[in-house]
Structures are given as C-alpha cells and as structure tokens.
A and B are shown apart, each in its own frame.
Chain A
Amino acid sequence: MTLDANQILALAPDPASAKAGSQLAVPRNWSNLGRKDLALWGECQGSGKTPYRTQIDLGDPAFKCSCPSRKFPCKHGLGLYLLLDANPALFNSEDVPDWVGDWLQSRQARQEKKAAKPEPTAQDLETAVAQARKREEKREHKVDAGIRELQTWLHDLAREGLAPVRSRGQAFWDAIAARMVDAQAAPLARRLRRAGSMLYQSGLPDAEERVGFELASIYLLAMAWQGIAGLPPALQADVRALLGWTVNQDEVLGQPGVADRWRILSQTVTDEERLRMRATWLRGATTGRWALVLHYAAGTQGFEPMPVAGTEFDGVLHFYPGAWPLRALPAQPAEALPMLDGPGAAAGIDTLLDQYADALAVQPFLDRYPALLADLVPDGAERPGLRDPHGHRIDLHPSFRHTLHLLALGGGEPLTIFGEWDGRTLLPLSVWHEGRLYNIDTDFIS
C-alpha cells in the first residue's frame, strides 16, 4: 500500500522539509515520472542545470535523490511521494531508467551482503570478548561510584528537605545530573533533570509528591544495582537498561522472534535533548502481545523506515531481554497493510489494573505500560478525565494537551482509547473511532 499525504509528511525530518516537499508536489516541477512495482521515480527541475533524479522504494519506504541536501528524506523525495498521492495517473511510464535500476540492484546487493557476513575466526572472537569484558568492568566501576554518590546526595536531600532546596533552582539538579553523565548512567541524568524541572516549571499542584515518588523510584533502582547479583537474570537486564546499558541490536535479533500480524497502535515523536525519539506501540493480532519499538534520529536525519500508525504488517519482532519484555526490534522491513479489523480486543479498566499489578510484581521499574480501553467517555473541559462504563473516573496525564480534541471526536459518545498507563493516569496516544485510528501525535493539531 502507499501512504496518504499525512503519513508521507510524517516522514519529513523537520517542518521546513514538509513544507518544501509539499510545494514541490505539483506536476510542473517534474518530468520522466514513472512507477513499476514498488519503485517510483521522477526528475525534478531544481536551481541547477541538470534535474535531480529522485527515486523511492515504496516498500520500506526508502528514498534516494541526486540533490546535495543532507536532509533525509529530502524535499524532492517527499514531493515525489506527495505527487503520487495527489496525481497517481501521472506516473504512467513503466520503463525503468538505468539510474533507477542501478539503485534497486545495489540495494538488493547490499541486503544480500548484509545477510552473508563472513564468520569471525575463533581468535577474533576471543580478543573481542576480552576487550569487551575489560570495557565492561571499567564501566561497572564508574556506575558503582556514581550510584554511591547519588545515594549520598539523596540522603542529604532527605535530611535537608525539598522545601529548602527549592530556592537553589534548576542548577542544583543539573549538577547531580552532570555527575550521572560522567558516571555513564545517562538515563538517571535525564530523570533527575526532569524531576527538577517538574518542581519549577510544571505548575502542578502535586509536583512535590510526584518528585518525591520519582526520586524514591530512583533510590530503589540504585539499591537494585547494588544487589544486582541477587536478582533474576531477566530483571538484571532491566536494571542495566535503566542505567544506560544498551543491548547490541544483533544480539536482540539473535533471540527467538515472535511472528504475528503486528498492528501499529500509535507512533509518537518526542525530543530528547539532542536526539529525537520515535516510539511505536504495536500489538500482535493473534498473540495479543504488546511491543514498543524505539527509533532515534539526530538533527535533520530521518528515522529508519517503519510503517505508520493505523497500519499493520506480517513480520517477526525480537524482544529485548527483560522481566516483562515490551521493547522490541522488527526483524526486517515489511510492507504495511491497512488496519482493517481495528486495534484488537480492548480491556476494561479492572483488567488493566490487574495486568499492571502483575507486571509491576515482576518488573517494579516499569515506566510505561500499554493500555487499550474501550467505552471511555471524555469528561467536560474544566476537569479533564475519562469516564468508564461503570462510572469510574480515569485521570489523564498532566502532559496530555488534546482533551478538547478527544471531546470533539467523541461528541459525548464512548471511544476506544489506546495510551500509556503509569499506575495513576492515562496518557492517550491514539483513538479508534468509526473504523479509523487517529494517531494523536500526527492526526490532532495542537
């Protein structure tokens, strides 16, 4: 299937590219347009003498263009794809020009080469393992020291109290966060900085309680690190991931995969300091398993190709090790199909609370938990919340900004909402309504 205009624009690395791309999506700019199977091509007259040769592999989708732009995909790629969406009849040639054929072939060759990597020799392996072991030990020492320092800091904070610390401003939190960066525990740094800014900037009435719980959770994580040897192996992997250890993708792909028809329930892009993160939630149609695929992109770089929310694909996911595995990697790009049968069975809030308690029991550091809830009616605008069929009130996450959009979509009638549950509030990420999935990050405009 091909994407619609909105989904195409979602591939843009930044709003400027989206704008430039859609301005290029008029027939006048293009010549030699053509399409065969999954290949799409065209020549775009730029400011130079020779036109840019732009081509798209619609399967992934993957882009290539002869323009010098470092953005990916570039405006020509987006424009070409948008033109296909607006005017499919223009792509009437089926004669693949050489430059398109070359590219498709080289892509295929590269994929084959990737599949057939030479086996390393035993000696190579041994040296590599020894080096890795050494690096690992060094890092563990650093984290050890960092965690001890953090514990002392937290003890001091408990002695002094949050109220007196308030006057010291964000710098107080940034200082300990910087120490955690030095200790190679970047996720802790991020959480500490965020805790500080919640105290000063959120304006929430219960900000101090939230910060208290967050710091306590960090404290428990520190304790878990110190006693990591006594934890079950799966939970050890979680603790290490939460402290910043990454797992090699090949290692993940080496784990047995879960084959299913994966439905994509939401896709959200957030800025994490210098990086952008795209979080995609999926659910297996037959296994009912949940999966979270994270992609990162720096600067103007585009994300790795991935089908968009509201579609599904047949494929295999490999899960990262953990006590309650959610994070996963897709084995290979797959062709997206429209999500015809909806997002799957939705639970009631009681079932969700039970499942969440079970999950916390084996992985107490779980921060986001997927929840697909049916029959929720948004409350009026003055105190945003959701009403379940039994008359219970579900609070919305304070960062949720689209209460009015939810109200408008439902019109006082029940909605099926997918979101992340943190034990107290729900952060809606998508809505299934009248046979269509609305991905809140892209389909609602704030």
Chain B
Amino acid sequence: MMRRCLALLAACAALLSAQPALAHKPSDSYLNLQVKEQRVTGRWDIALRDLEMAVGVDGDGDGNLTWDEVRARHDAIAAYALSHLKLASGGQDCPLQVTRQLVDRHTDGAYTVLMLSGACAGPIEKLTVDYTLLAEFDPQHKGLLALRYGDATSTAILEPGRARQELLVAEVGRWRQFAEYVRQGVWHIWIGFDHILFLLSLLLPAVLLYREREWVGRDGIKPAAVDVIRIVTAFTVAHSITLTLAALGVLALPSRLVESLIAASVIVAALNNIRPLYQRARVLFAFGFGLLHGFGFASVLADLGLPQGALLTSLIGFNVGVELGQLAIVAVFLPFAYLLRNGLFYRRIIMLGGSTVIALVAAAWLAERALDLRLPSLT
C-alpha cells in the first residue's frame, strides 16, 4: 500500500517512485542454439516491441505492426541482431548468418524468429557467447540462452555484466563437464583469498598448543595431523551442506550479507589465534562459519551456470574441486608448519603476526562489504 503512496505522489506532488511492475514481462530474447561438430544452428526470438525501439519497424507509425512492415525491415533486423551476438570457439570467431525470418508468439506478444546458421574453425568444445543485444536501450534486457549438444542442454542468462560467457560443449560429455567443474572448484578456492585466509587462521595453531598464555610446539606430527583433519572435515561438511542447498535453490541469502559475514568469520578465526578463547572452538568455528562459506561458493557456481541436464554432476564436481584445492593448501602448509613449530619465528611472526595481518585485512573487507565503502587496492 505504501508503494502506491509514492506512486501517487509522483502524480500529485512531483515526487516519484515505482511500484514493482507486475503487469507485463521485462524484455527478454530467447536464443536457442544447437552445436554439432563445428556447426552451429539455432533460432533467436526477439520481441517486435524491442526491435521497434532498436531499429524501427512500424513504417507508417500507426502502432499496428503488419507482416509487410516487419518483412520490409528484415535486413536491418538481421544486421542489428548479428552485430550484437558474437560466437567464438578456440579463440576464433564463428560467423553467423540469418537464413530465414519467421514469427512466433510468446506470453508478452509477437517475436521475430531469426533462423541462424554458422560454423567455427574446428569441432566446438567450448563456445564463447558475447551478447550485447539492446544493451544501450534497455540494460535490464536479458538473453535467455539454451545450448543443445547431443542429448544435453545447458542454459545461461546473458545480460550486461554477464554479457560474455563460456559454455562447455561435450558430445559424450559427462566426464569432461565434471572435470571442468572440478577445475573451477580448485581455481575458486585458490583465488578466493577469504576462504584461504579463513582456513589458514584455523590451521596455523594446529601444530601448537596454548599453555599458560603462550603457544608452544606440539610433540609428534600425529596430534597435529588429527587436528588438521578434524578442522578440514568440519569445514568441508558444513560448506558442502549450504553449497548444495543454495545451488538447488532450497536456501538463499543476500550476497552482501554472506560476503560480510565471511569477512567477519575470518576476523573471528584470526583473533582466536591471538587470544584463544577455547582450543576446541576452532572445530566449531570451522563448521559454523563453513556454513556461510558454502553460500559464498554457491554464488560463484551460480555465475558459472549449472547445466540443466547435469545439475548433480557439476555440483559434485565443483565441490570435489573445492576439496582438492583445499587439500593442496593443507599439503603445502602442514609440513612447513610442523618443521618450524618450535621456533620463535613460527610462534611469534607467523602465528601472531600473521593472524594480526589476517584480521586487519579481513576487517578492511568487512568495512568494504558491509558499509559498501570503496577502499583502495585491498583485494
């Protein structure tokens, strides 16, 4: 009701706002592509309303778009559309042609249907789609892409900010796709500094014990390894739960909240190294905050786009990748920490100094994410 208050004020008090528009649909185009070897075929449905805005279709301006008027603009429509869709494979363009133009109806009116045909230089494994249709007229326009290859279909939403996307095409498919998501998972944990710093904050004290208000080295690698395994397992179980729930659309949290809380989790973990509240707390931290980090991973996965036919495969692949990336970090960290654990360098500089630096960096992230400040070159 209050929403209308604003809307009406727009009319009567020269103030304004917008109620969510429920009446019609926002602008979309439907891009359906099919890939076989190096050939690309497909159809692209673009609303006549949008084409009127972009190239002008209504010849006599009476508001009635006839087939004759649309037909007269077919060349202009094809030229406009093709200049705003670029396909490439293996670093080389795949030029497209419009072979025919037809008409179809969607829930919000009539669309021109461009029948497409083109070829890449060689068999397509990964198709790069660069989509800028209507971007200059309507930044809220989206291109809804369905890419078919063999029996599989993957989908993507193309829009400003995500105008250029890569889609994997695999004829036999599943394994390659799985491998690609594993790779993405590994890559994400390696470039995701907040996840690494969180994990490191929890792992730094694994080779130490807190005794009489001071950290001392642990005897033997076994208790240290057990500690590491417990922490990594707790973190893994927790983020797998939320990653799965979020990727399947069961749970959703606002990304700014998630990103802010992740930064806060790093601060808490790092501060606990400087003044430990409770040794065992690290396993609980790993689990509790791991739930949050799972939402962070899920947003990355959402950006990658999940193939409809292979949702589970890619979800598991991504998760496996995250775990492998994590194990690699542990494999580098543990021997190094174990060897150095008794020296002052490790206990003072790395453990206390490192934790302080981590807490400060994370505090800057938190300020940036929660308060939406832009701090110079911290990430």
- The answer to whether A binds B is no
Interface residues of A (CB under 8 A from B): none
